[in-house]
């Protein structure tokens, strides 16, 4: 067997211990004599897993009991439409900060349901983004029902290093690519959501945490599977939930807690990004970071080499060295290393060594 160092942007690396436990429990989960995929979602074994996972999520986030944890399907992309469906409608408005490709995706859907304004739009020519706006650059619409932003821009390698002050409006955040990567005051948000396949486990489940006060304001007359109120009332079991994805999510959350929770994760991720950006900045211009230094993401490290040919050779040689999925996204080019929680400090140290060796062997 050969395990690689996996910098995939999503679906992404999952902790080895989690995969091993899932393997060990595959044929006989929890004494049921079958896998977790084969038991009734109405049975007591699955129910304990399901409810326990919601509690564990709340515990790790430090959220009080007036936050509901929901498990939805259709990815974060479905939250792009479910959110405005639940809060907008004729004559309603919302604020969306645009900091990257995924913020634009959220706006595209929200526009179907209301008038959308932008406290800031950081797009540059050629669909590029390199910076996060400062608080003073944000201009809010007083008529907005809520303010939405993307905490980490997965494609562009930028990340908010502060929680915006939105003057008392409900704050909603797409945290798909940096959730649980470091401590954060989650109580500042009325709602957060994240597709699980970056920092929380496999695709198939999206975690939503919503404050009761905000939930109460949601539209009630909606198609059943689009209603936050239904998800809350039915504990995300109106229909069959993605049981296996929730099971892996549970194992990842237990792994996270066992390894020191968000404080420990934050320390490791801080060291990882520091090593990688130091390798970029200390290369004498051979590696060039794509994002503005103060907006750099701890999760997605974007940089380029002196030529597109060297970018391509980097990807190929890295793969041969057991370091995979390093190619940047189309709009940004270059290299993207997605160093989510399951990528270890040791993996990053190995990568930094590879970067130094590559530079020595392939002069500009």
Ligand X SMILES: *Cc1c(COP(=O)(O)O)cnc(C)c1O
Residues that bind ligand X (CB under 6 A): 10, 75-77, 102, 150, 154, 174, 176-177, 195, 198
Can 357 be counted among the known catalytic residues? no
| Angle 198-62-84 from CA coordinates, rounded to 5° | 60
Kind of pairing, strands 191-195 and 206-211?
A: antiparallel
Q: Is the dihedral of CA 271, 277, 280, 281 positive or negative?
A: negative
| Nearer Cβ to ligand X (177/227) | 177
We find the least distance from the C-beta atom of residue 101 to ligand X, in angstroms, to be: 8
Residue 224, phi then psi, degrees to nearest 5 = -50, -50
| Nearer Cβ to ligand X (102/189) | 102
We find the least distance from the C-beta atom of residue 27 to ligand X, in angstroms, to be: 29
Strand partners, 296: 158
We find the least distance from the C-beta atom of residue 176 to ligand X, in angstroms, to be: 4
| Nearer Cβ to ligand X (150/325) | 150
Q: Is the dihedral of CA 339, 343, 349, 351 positive or negative?
A: negative
| Nearer Cβ to ligand X (78/219) | 78
What are the structure tokens assigned to 102, written together? 């995924």
- CA nearest 67: which of 232, 234, 217, 211? 211
We find the least distance from the C-beta atom of residue 95 to ligand X, in angstroms, to be: 17
The Cα-based distances of 99 to 59, 149, 168, 364 in angstroms read 30, 8, 21, 32
| Nearer Cβ to ligand X (15/242) | 242
Return d(Cα 84, Cα 264) in angstroms, integer. 35
The catalytic residue among 29, 178, 198, 311 is 198
Can 174 be counted among the known catalytic residues? yes
We find the least distance from the C-beta atom of residue 302 to ligand X, in angstroms, to be: 13
The catalytic residue among 29, 95, 174, 211 is 174
DSSP 3-state of 330: coil
- CA nearest 207: which of 246, 260, 265, 247? 246
The catalytic residue positions are 102, 174, 198
């Amino acid at each position: 067997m050969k395990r690689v160092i996996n910098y995939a942007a999503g679906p992404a690396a999952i902790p080895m211990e989690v995969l091993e436990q899932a393997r060990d429990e595959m044929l006989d989960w929890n004494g049921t004599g079958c896998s977790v995929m084969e038991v009734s979602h109405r049975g007591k074994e699955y129910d304990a897993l399901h409810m326990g996972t919601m509690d564990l999520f709340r515990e790790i986030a430090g959220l009080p009991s007036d936050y509901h944890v929901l498990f939805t399907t259709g990815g974060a992309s479905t939250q792009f439409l479910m959110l405005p469906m639940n809060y907008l409608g004729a004559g309603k408005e919302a604020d969306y900060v645009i900091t990257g490709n995924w913020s634009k995706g959220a706006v595209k859907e929200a526009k179907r349901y209301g008038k959308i304004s932008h406290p800031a739009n950081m797009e540059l020519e050629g669909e590029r983004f390199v910076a996060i706006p400062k608080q003073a650059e944000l201009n809010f619409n007083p008529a907005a029902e809520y303010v939405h932003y993307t905490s980490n821009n997965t494609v562009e390698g930028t990340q908010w290093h502060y929680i915006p002050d939105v003057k008392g409006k409900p704050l909603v955040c797409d945290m798909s690519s940096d959730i649980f990567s470091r401590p954060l005051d989650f109580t500042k948000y009325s709602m957060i959501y994240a597709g699980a396949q970056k920092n929380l486990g496999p695709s198939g489940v999206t975690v939503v945490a919503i404050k009761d006060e905000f939930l109460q304001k949601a539209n009630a007359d909606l198609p059943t599977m689009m209603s936050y109120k239904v998800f809350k009332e039915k504990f995300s079991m109106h229909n069959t939930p993605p049981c296996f994805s929730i099971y892996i999510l549970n194992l990842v959350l237990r792994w996270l807690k066992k390894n020191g929770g968000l404080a420990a994760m934050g320390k490791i991720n801080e060291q990882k990004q520091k090593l990688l950006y130091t390798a970029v900045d200390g290369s004498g211009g051979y590696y060039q970071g794509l994002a503005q230094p103060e907006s750099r993401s701890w999760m997605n490290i974007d940089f380029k080499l002196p030529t597109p040919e060297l970018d391509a050779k980097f990807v190929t040689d890295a793969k041969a060295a057991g370091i995979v999925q390093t190619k940047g996204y189309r709009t940004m080019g270059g290299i993207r290393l997605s160093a989510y929680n399951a990528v270890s400090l040791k993996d990053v140290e190995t990568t930094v060594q590879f970067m130094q060796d590559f530079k020595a062997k392939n002069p500009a």
